[in-house]
Chains A and B, each alone.
Chain A
Amino acid sequence: MSLRDMFRTLARRGVLAIAVLMAVVVCGTAVFAPVIAPHDPTDVVLENKFAAPSMEHPFGCDHLGRDVLSRLVYGTRTSICSVAAIMAIVLLLGFTVGTVSGYAGGALDATLMRFCDVFLTFPTFILAMFLIGVLGTGMVNVIIAVALTHWAWYARIIRSMVLSLKNREYVLAAKVAGTGRLQTTVRHILPPIVAQLVILCTLDIGHMMLHVSGLSFLGLGVTPPMPEWGVMISDARQFIWSHPMLIMLPGGMIFVTVMAFNLLGDALRDSFDPALAVQEDVVP
Chain B
Amino acid sequence: MPIVELSGIRKTYGRGGFFRKQERFTVLRNVDLSLRAGECLGLVGRSGSGKSTLGRIMLGLESPDAGSVKILGQDVTGCTRLPEHIRRAVQVVFQDAIGSTNPRMTAGEIIAEPLRNFDKLQGTALRERVAELLELVGLSPDDAGKLPGRFSGGQLQRICIARALAPSPQVIVLDEAVSSLDMLIQAHILDLLDSLRRRYGTAYLFVTHDLRLVRRFCDRAFFMSDGNLHAFDPAKTVDMKGSKVLEELFNAILPPMPDAARRQGNSGESVAV
Contact = CB atoms under 8 A, between A and B. Distances in A.
| A and B in contact, CB less than 8 Å | yes
Interface of A: 168-170, 172-180, 187-188, 191-192, 283
Given A170-B99, A173-B160, A179 B149 contact: no
| Interface of A, helix, strand, loop or mixed by DSSP | helix
A180 B163 CA distance: 16
Interface residues on B, range: 20 to 34
Contacts of A191: 104
A110 B101 CA distance: 31
B118 A169 contact: no
Contact of B96 (A169, A174, A283): A169
Nearest 9 interchain pairs by C-beta: A178-B117, A169-B100, A177-B114, A169-B99, A177-B113, A170-B102, A169-B94, A173-B100, A170-B100
B150 interface: yes
B247 to A, nearest CB: 32
A168 B61 CA distance: 12
Interface of B: 59, 61, 84, 87-88, 90-92, 94, 96, 99-102, 104-105, 113-114, 117-118, 149-150, 160, 163, 166-167
B61 A175 contact: yes
A89 B150 CA distance: 39
Contacts of A188: 102
A187 B116 CA distance: 13
Contacts of B96: 169
A178 B99 contact: no
B117 A177 contact: yes
30 contacts: A168-B99, A169-B96, A169-B100, A170-B100, A170-B102, A173-B94, A173-B101, A173-B160, A173-B163, A174-B102, A174-B113, A175-B61, A176-B61, A176-B87, A176-B90, A176-B92, A177-B91, A177-B113, A177-B114, A177-B117, A178-B84, A178-B87, A178-B88, A178-B113, A178-B117, A178-B167, A179-B117, A180-B117, A187-B105, A192-B104
The listed residue with most B CB atoms (<10 A of its CB), out of A173, A176, A177, A178, is A176
Contact of A173 (B92, B104, B149): B92
